[in-house]
Structure 1
Amino acid sequence: MQIHDIQAFLAVVRTKNISRAAEEMYLSQSTITHRLKNLELTMGVTLLDRGRGMKNIYLTPSGKDFLQIAKRWDVLWKETEFLKKQGDHMALSFGTLESLNLSVFPSLFISLSQHIPKIRLEIHTQHTDDLYSSVERRQIDVAFVLREIFSPNIKKEPWATAPMVLLKTSNPSEAEKIMIDNNNLNADNEVYTPWSGTNFTSWHDQWWDPTCRYRINITGVNLILTLLQDVEKWAIVPMWLAQYATKLGNFSYYRLSNPPPDLICYKITHKFPKPSTQRSLLVLNEYLKNIKIS
């Protein structure tokens, strides 16, 4: 079955006349007639009532049944032609943590969305375990995490490191100008997030009682800035989040006299990525060179 035959059929149905259909399609009447015959021969049924003395052409019962199929066929053909004209295009499924999504990657997302040729971009904000799982199943092409998890099919590489600093409500002009002694921090006023697993937790427990009754414990970053509106509260956060908060105003960050280990951000991809993502990953790598998170 040829698309040209179907288009001739649809033109005749619209115009109810072979000559008008021929004019519409810039073809001869004989060509239209030939295409209709080809279509009916392929279908094995008569689709149109036409003959001497009939001013208009009408659908037969079989023609009425076939009309909706022909319309769908025409739509699919047009969509296929549109896809062919677009040529190969790029796609990238990007996974990240809430803290990175908020304070590190907005400029990257803008660059990727404006890239020429266009990239079909998907952005997924998930927890670390879910990001590893999504990359493992090739549902996400690349992700950025703050913790290492062993997976035989995942390639992990350190992308960036950032110092951990103290964040609290204060004048932004004080940022990084004052050092805070760990011993002077009241654990009851802490908004605690276990940033990088055992390394951070071990360091933290050396300085403050892990069973502190009044400490606020959270596992995400959405509430950190809200809870720090209380001038007595403080939190230990990576530099990128501290800098983001300072730009918002009313926050400042301070170096610690005995800081925890720097936080490592890992870039993870599948060891055997989909071939169709290679170009997009190369574009991503170029944009990543322009991002500073410490």
Structure 2
Amino acid sequence: MNDEVLETYLNIVKTHSLTKTAENMFISQSAVSNRLISLEKELNVKLIERSPGQKGILLTQKGEEFVEFAKRHQELNRQIQDWSRGDVTEVLRVASVISLTDYVKGFYRELLGKGKLSITLATHWTDRIISMLENRETDIGITPRVFYSKAVEAVPIFQESLYLVSSRSVSSYPDFIDAKTLKRAHEIYFDWGTNFVEWHENQMNPLELPLMVTDTTELLPELLRIPDSFCIIPACIFKNFHDPDLKLSRITPEPPPRICYLLKLKEPHSQKQELVRQFEQEFKEYVRKLEDVSL
């Protein structure tokens, strides 16, 4: 299976068109078709559905499954070529929730500046990250919560206190506020893990619906313009907004902290074991310098 054929297939997947693939690769459409047919014969599977008058391409189930294998095959070939030239670049796949990616973005700059390392960084929800680890689609996960998995180990890295955030101009929450006085109907709700959910249910009426449930913090400055609205988030997210209209309030009783976990396979690939260990060590060193966190 050569790289030329795999590159053609991945291009077809990207463009959803044999014609556009031919244009992108500066080859004829018949050459694209021949490479696809050759690949299907070699694999003995049907990768693409073909129907008269069909616009674009439609992957079969096998075709969708093969995409990840094709990418891995290309990456392995690239690493072999680097190795043969004595120019080895280690590749580490990291999956993280977006709020933690934003918070530790300086870490990746520092890490990449230390040596020959290539990082593939993807952002997903926690359940997807755990699934990716179980399926060996990523090497490391960084999440604010964990779900049980026989294959995955969760290492607590740091924790952050949670605060109430509101708008000074349209709300009047005090600097210190009793959680039982808060109304869920005014809340933009984030799930910060099992302990937080339990605390939240004990402090506020669980039968009252929140204003919004979301995992996207980018919307907050706009949503907090709604009178009396509030959210409960770590200080690091608040600081990222750089918005003087927003204010922090301490909550009593204090909510459980958000915990950052590093997720890794209990039995990692042998060639990645040392790289994962180094990443974990460097990550721990980096967070020691962060404000508003405890280890």
Task: Please give the TM-score of this superposition, normalised by the length of structure 2.
Answer: 0.62
Q: Give yes or no for contact 1:97–1:127 (8 Å, CA) kept in 2.
A: yes
Report deviation, 1:111: 1.7
Q: C-alpha separation between the residues in 1 aligned to 2:274 and 2:113?
A: 16
Asked if the contact 2:139/2:264 (under 8 Å) is kept, the reply is yes
Q: Deviations over 1:173-202 (max 9, x none)?
A: xxxx932222443332211122213x2222
Aligned residue number for residue 51 of structure 2: none
Return the letter of the residue paired with 2:251.
L
The corresponding residue for 2:269 is 274
The alpha-carbon distance between structure 1 residues 100 and 147, as it changes in their structure 2 partners (threshold 3 A), is same
Name the % identity: 20
**Helix, strand or coil for the counterpart of 2:85?**
helix
1:224-260, Cα deviation, whole Å (9 max, x unpaired): 3331233521101123323333x35432212112122
Decide whether the 8 Å contact of 1:111 with 1:287 is kept in 2.
Answer: no
CA contact (8 A) 1:94 1:140 kept: yes
**Partner of residue 96, structure 1:** 96
Matched, 1:251 2:231: no
Q: Distance in 2 between matches of 1:249 and 1:283?
A: 39
Distance 1:145 1:135 in 2: 12
Cα pair 2:156 2:259 within 8 Å, conserved:
yes
Which whole-Å CA distance do the structure 1 matches of 2:214 and 2:272 have between them? Answer: 36
The farther-off stretch of 263-272 and 236-245 is 236-245
Amino acid of the residue matched to residue 262 of structure 2? K
Aligned to 1:107: 106
Number of matched pairs: 207
Contact 2:179 2:204 in 1 (8 A): no
- CA–CA distance in 2 between the matches of 1:166 and 1:178? 9
Give the secondary structure class of the aligned counterpart of 2:110: helix
Provide the residue aligned with 1:207 in structure 2: 203
User: Which structure 2 residue ranges, 5 or more long, are not aligned?
Assistant: 1-78
The letter of the residue matching 1:187 is R
Q: Give the TM-score, by structure 1 length.
A: 0.63
CA RMSD of aligned residues (A): 2.6
Pick closer, same or farther for the CA change 1:202–1:82 going to 2, 3 Å. Answer: closer
Amino acid in the other structure paired with 1:272? E
Q: Rg larger in 1 or in 2?
A: 1
Give distance in 2, aligned partners of 1:214 and 1:265: 25
1:179 aligns with 2:176: yes
Q: Is the 8 A contact 1:155 1:271 kept in 2?
A: yes
Check whether the contact 1:165–1:242 (CA below 8 A) recurs between aligned residues: no
Aligned with 1:209: secondary structure? Answer: coil
AA at the equivalent of 2:164: L
